[in-house]
A and B are shown apart, each in its own frame.
Chain A
Amino acid sequence: MSYTPHTGTADALAAQRRTLARRLILPTQILLVFIVAFPLLMQVYISLTWWTPLDGTLWYSAYESWNWFDNFAEIFRDPGLHGAVWRTILFVSIAVPIEFGLGLLLAALFYEGVLARPVFYSLILMPMMIVPAVAGYIFFLIFQQTGPLNALVGIVWDGAYQINWLNDVNRAFIAVIVADVWQWTPLMFLILFAGLMSVPHDQMRAATILGANWRQRFFRIALPRIKAVIFIAIGLRVIECFKIFDMLFVMTSGGPGVATESLSLYLYKQTFQSLEWSYVAAIGITVLVVLSVIAAIILTRTSRPSNTSEAS
């Protein structure tokens, strides 16, 4: 009979723990509602009007210039936006594969073993620790017509051969890709190397004993085992690369013309130069919807339980 109160206290305890959990999660919930719910409603509201901050009216009187879906219709007719979107996609689809290739190469080299590994490891991670805006400035300096890169080219090619890097449409695009690859290859390396290190050593040793050369070991055993890690690494980079702003803004401001103008830069210019805030809001909602759909498709296709357990 003395055991019966025990279940009562257990229930009371469970209730107490639940109350605590609800309280602990509250600040995060408040912050989320604050930053998501209200802004989202406001964004939808504004996107259905012509309101701009130049109107001299506050945002809540935007209904005076209600226009239903004109801003969304404009999205389909805006060559500037289309150009920026395609440029961003092009940028991502060039930069990320290069970063992945170089990162995987580095990870493989480290995995096979190099001298002074901890030293080189720290050195190679250095670029990704640089503030992106500062990295943009670094490459702004390097690609100057009177800068070090042209000085080097001058030594090799003999004479004052001065390439116009950042003022040429194609070269500027190459230059920003170089800068992005420089800064973010270390991230790929970091994640892929961590993945490789998690491959059980006895399997690799067994394969070696059975006569597998490094190529077989790497492509047949190691790579298939880190599929989930590869997915995470590429996924992270695609998301971040798609958002790219800081580095481009400092390095080229999207120029020359619109040659290096990413989606984020285009939105920035629309926000602060054209001040078409209702239009930017409409683009923002479209971007949210498109990205959510893509993310949902990717997640449902890849979230098999085997993947998640491998990743941890």
Chain B
Amino acid sequence: MTGLILRTVVVALFAAIALLPISWMATMAFKPPAEWTSATAELTFLPKDPTWSNFVYVFTGEVEGQIVSLDRTVWWPLFASLLTSVIGTLIAVVAGTAAAYAVSREKVGGSIGLSLLQLRIFPPLAVMIPVMIMWAFLGMIDTWWGLSLIYGIVTLPFSFWLMKSYFDELPREIEEAAIVEGCTAFEAFYQITLPIVVSAVASTALFIFILNWSDYLIALLLTRKEWTTIPVYMNALATAASGQLYGAKAALGLIAAIPPIILGISIQRFLVQGLTFGALKQ
């Protein structure tokens, strides 16, 4: 019993350490400029004078008392993040699921699985020069389709390996029975097998959406202004305006952080699997 309480106390301590930094940013988002640093006021955890002005500022571009008005509000980056993440996820999930089924059932494609894994091993910056040249050549820099396409490609390894681990578990007898009943091979895949794994497809899609939404580097390299995503927009805010806009950036950070947290907790049981490419199940 004492052991149980002791363990709980230690774990609670870890949980506090996990939460405190996040909540510091969260409360910062509701603080007026005077409370941002201890240079101007004594620091408190909770805002002494809570305000929505940081959010108003990033959404409308202007707020009383802020030094500069924004030339660009958060609406468009928010839309860009959402659009490119969703399309990227669609590309990865559709192509990955189809390929995973093909490899799982017919062993076609040689070592395509390993080639896909290699995509994840190398530091993106070591291979991005030709990609940037190619994207420029094809007119895909700073476009929603260019960003979506690369998101779909870099998350393809996850959807392929995850879905393959599911298809491998399904007995092929189900499809064979369906084919004997008169289905074509495609109908057996589309109408019999796919509905069985549909929840796995959904979890995979949510997981990949989180990855795409969390990207910073690729958007930094392949967008200029029009289609920058939230993390890039957020980090550029300090240089665009005079001085550090701690509160406004914290508000942006919060906006960027909330969707992955909600989705992440909702697919909590799936995370182990997702992060280990399906090698490990919970």
Contact = CB atoms under 8 A, between A and B. Distances in A.
Contacts of B210: 129
Chain B residues touching A, majority SS: helix
B61 interface: no
A280 B131 CA distance: 13
Chain A residues touching B, majority SS: helix
Interface string A257-273: 00000011001100100
Interface stretch (B48-56, B67-75, B105-113): B105-113
Contact of A137 (B25, B95, B276): B25
20 contacts: A21-B108, A25-B102, A25-B108, A28-B160, A59-B133, A102-B14, A123-B15, A125-B265, A127-B21, A131-B253, A146-B37, A147-B43, A151-B42, A191-B272, A191-B280, A245-B216, A249-B217, A280-B125, A283-B126, A284-B127
B129 A27 contact: no
Contacts of B265: 122, 125, 129
A18 B105 CA distance: 9
Contacts of B34: none
Given A126-B261, A129-B210, A24 B272 contact: no
Interface in A38-63: 38-40, 42-43, 46, 59
Contacts of B279: 232, 311-312
Contacts of A17: 105-106, 185
A134 B232 CA distance: 10
B63 interface: no
Contact of B103 (A13, A25, A125, A127): A25
A131 B216 contact: yes
A191 B265 CA distance: 16
A191 to B, nearest CB: 6
A39 B231 contact: no
A38 B19 CA distance: 45
B257 interface: yes
Give the bracket for the number of chain A residues in contact with chain B: 35 or more
Contacts of B103: 21, 25
A177 to B, nearest CB: 14
Given A109-B7, A129-B261, A28 B130 contact: no
Given A130-B260, A139-B21, A277 B129 contact: yes
Interface stretch (A110-118, A168-176, A200-208, A215-223): A110-118
A109 B11 contact: yes
A130 B257 contact: yes
Interface in A147-167: 147-148, 150-151
B37 to A, nearest CB: 4
B23 to A, nearest CB: 10
Contact of B109 (A25, A197, A232): A25
A120 B15 contact: yes
A212 to B, nearest CB: 16
B130 A40 contact: yes
Interface stretch (A29-37, A72-80, A90-98): A29-37
A72 B73 CA distance: 45
B281 to A, nearest CB: 7
